[in-house]
Amino acid sequence: MVPNALNLYGLDRTGLEELFETQGLQRFRARQLLKWVYHQNLLDFGAMTDLPKVTREWFNENCHFSLPEIHHQQVSVDGTVKWLLRLDQGDLVEMVLIPERDRNTLCVSSQVGCMLDCSFCSTGKQGFNGNLSAADIVGQLVLANRYLETKDQRVTNVVLMGMGEPLLNFDAVLAATNLMIDDHAFGLSKRRVTISTAGVVPGIRKLQQVTDVSLAISLHAPTDDLRDGLVPINRKYPIAELLAACTDYVEHLGPARKLVIEYTLLAGVNDQVEHAKGLAKLLAGVRCKINLIPFNPFPGSGYARPAQGDIENFQTILMRQGFVTMLRTTRGEDINAACGQLVGQVDDRTQRQRRHRERMAAMQQEIVQWR
Ligand code: SAH
């Protein structure tokens, strides 16, 4: 293998077709390669018998398949699995598999840390150290499928709700999700692949031009005043702009599809009756379903999870207004695998860690205990 060999997990069908073309080969060879890799689980170019011999040789010399390294695996009492993965550059990121009766949902990371610094998210407190490659993202799905294979199962749903803001790593996320929904590769339903964003409006607009996977937005507040303090990117792209972009996106998905609204409930901050009513008013006319996520605490966060009664009350108000409203049950709590608890290990380039040194110290200790 040459030092700069191409990791083919990072190329979607179009990427492979372009690669084949530069080698003077027909584009349809890309489909043949995809089927070997994703349907037959065959990574040995030499054994891909329907490819010309010279092509196989060229691949052998110039390309490879490589996966993130599993640094640590933890299985929760409820079956949730969290992996700490080491990427090429040494960064550690997390992914979480949530098995349920009728589905296996994989929550994948798209960035090492996150730049957005939402006030209640522990990933944000880690700072940011770069993007995952498309191969790093696809690799997470390959690894989770390998784990499930031993139980005769596969990942059925993918949510880009791990570490990072997917729309700030647009090209890699697009290539990876293209492979997820390609029948020649993973073949997942486009309804079952969901990109979640804190509200990168230009990213949503761009996404609409190139894909039709599902979209979730992290709303968390019914007013700009409140959201500005929780999700700082709101100051750049306020709620009205965000909802306009989302409405256009779901229009483009067609009448049977819905936008997912994520709303993390923070005790005394955004969980009161007035907030539920405000949310119902804001979302009137938006084709959506609402996922309520009770806050998952982490050391030094300064927030608390609301009392069960408040959570249920909030849900009831929305349901009475006709919204499909799910309460996300907390999974993998014993292994810190819940939403907003994914931290990996980030060599911060934004210096945010300095501002959060105390919180970090507590969290780092948690990571050290893993080893
Ligand atoms: N950056 C993307 C992807 C992260 S998804 C986004 O913001 O959508 C993770 C979801 O969990 C987001 O809705 C996020 O706001 C929420 N979340 C973050 N920290 C949390 C916490 N401590 N408790 C509950 N939900 C949290």
In the chain, where are the structural domains located? 6-64, 69-356
Q: Tell which wins on pLDDT, 342 or 56.
A: 56
Q: What CATH topology corresponds to 6-64? A: DNA polymerase; domain 1 (1.10.150)
User: What's the 3-state SS for 42-89?
Assistant: CCCHHHCCCCCHHHHHHHHHHEECCCCEEEEEEECCCCCEEEEEECCC
Q: Check pLDDT > 80 for residue 292.
A: yes
Pocket probe mutation, ligand 1, options 264, 329, 341, max atoms within 8 Å of Cβ: 264
> If you classify domain 69-356 with CATH, what class do you get?
alpha beta
Confidence (pLDDT) at 358: 44
How confident is residue 128, by pLDDT bands cut at 50, 70 and 90?
A: very high
31 and 187 Cβ atoms separated by less than 8 Å: no
The residue type of 156 is: T
Q: Is 161 in the pocket of ligand 1 (CB under 6 A)?
A: yes
Cα R_g (the chain), whole angstroms:
21
Confidence (pLDDT) at 357: 45
Strand 81-86 versus strand 92-99 pairing type: antiparallel
Residue/partner pairs of 272-276 with CB below 8 Å, 24 or more apart: 272/310, 273/313, 273/314, 273/317, 275/221, 275/222, 275/226, 275/314, 276/313, 276/314, 276/317, 276/318
Q: Known catalytic residues?
A: 94, 339
This model's pTM is above 0.85: yes
Could you give the dihedral angle defined by the CA atoms of residues 84, 80, 119 and 174, in that order, rounded to the nearest 10 degrees? 70
State the helix-helix crossing angle for 308-320 and 273-283, rounded to 10 degrees. 30
Q: Is 96 in the pocket of ligand 1 (CB under 6 A)?
A: no
Confidence (pLDDT) at 369: 38
SS3 280: helix
Lowest mean pLDDT among 3-7, 101-105, 283-287: 3-7
Q: Is 342 in the pocket of ligand 1 (CB under 6 A)?
A: no
Structure tokens at 169: 């790593």
Mean pLDDT of 302-313: 96
> Facing residues of 160 across strands?
195
Q: Check pLDDT > 60 for residue 50.
A: yes
- Rounded distance from Cα 106 to ligand 1 centre (Å): 15
Q: Check pLDDT > 70 for residue 344.
A: no
Residue with tokens 């309460």: 327
Q: Is 165 in the pocket of ligand 1 (CB under 6 A)?
A: yes
